[in-house]
Amino acid sequence: MKIFIPIKENSQRVPRKNFRELSGVPLYKHTLYKLTDYDVYVDTDSDEIIEGIGNDHKLSNVTVFKRSQNLIGDRVSVCNLIKDFIISKEISHGFVCQMHVTSPFITNDILERASDHLQNHDSVVSCNKLNTRFWRKENYGYVPINHNPMKLEQLQDLPTYYEENSAFYMFDVEMFKKTNTRIGLNPYFYPIGFPENLDIDTEHDWEVVVGVSK
């Protein structure tokens, strides 16, 4: 299984988050250093990251390349980046795992256990498994989604919801080439808990991650 990691230089809500130090190393290297047993491909628009990876002998398993000019921007879909990667690197078969360096607590053990499910599924999605009471707000008030307020049920008896947390997506390359999506027709949703499911999207998230890493 090949690992594909897109890394942008710019961050809209957490300035220079990919370069901030976590446990003494830049965030993007914090993740890469754990993936030495894989063939890792990094797609980036950052010359600083290209130089940082290229000059680091610990990252000899990482192939870093400059993002195509027409795919630079905050609104570009990650699926377009994956498609460009598959085409440019001539990946014709097998499995790819797309990750983000902003989920720094994902471990190799988690990846290995999750990838076992690719034997019977065309994709594996990291998720939060939720058994709780959900409500939806409408103009006329709040509406229960998955429970009857007049019949108080135990949480474990409610329908289970699976929330994508974007820590990783594993998928069959041939499936992706046909559908242009990371989640196939026969996916497996792989639950992960705290702190592995943390993703840095706000300054508060960063503070939580720093606190956990101490």
Q: What is the pLDDT of residues 19-69, one digit of tens each?
A: 999 999 999 999 999 999 999 999 999 999 999 999 999 999 999 999 999
Nearest residue to 127 via CA among 77, 75, 163: 163
Give the number of other Cβ atoms within 10 Å of residue 180's Cβ: 12
- What is the reported pLDDT for 161? 95
**Position 172 confidence tier, pLDDT thresholds 50, 70, 90:** very high
Taking the C-alpha atoms of residue 212 and residue 194, their distance in angstroms, rounded to an integer, is 10
Among residues 98, 95, 91, the alpha carbon closest in space to that of 125 is found at 98
Q: Are 62 and 4 in contact (CB under 8 A)?
A: no
Dihedral angle, C-alpha 38, 76, 80, 55, nearest 10 ° = -30
For Cα atoms 14, 17, 23, give the angle at the middle one, nearest 5 degrees: 130
Q: What is the mean pLDDT of the chain?
A: 95
**pLDDT confidence of residue 75:** 85
> What fold characterizes domain 2-127+164-213?
Spore Coat Polysaccharide Biosynthesis Protein SpsA; Chain A (3.90.550)
Average pLDDT of span 165-170? 97
Locate 53 and state its tokens: 């990876």
Domain boundaries, the chain: 2-127+164-213
Q: Is the pLDDT of residue 214 over 90?
A: no
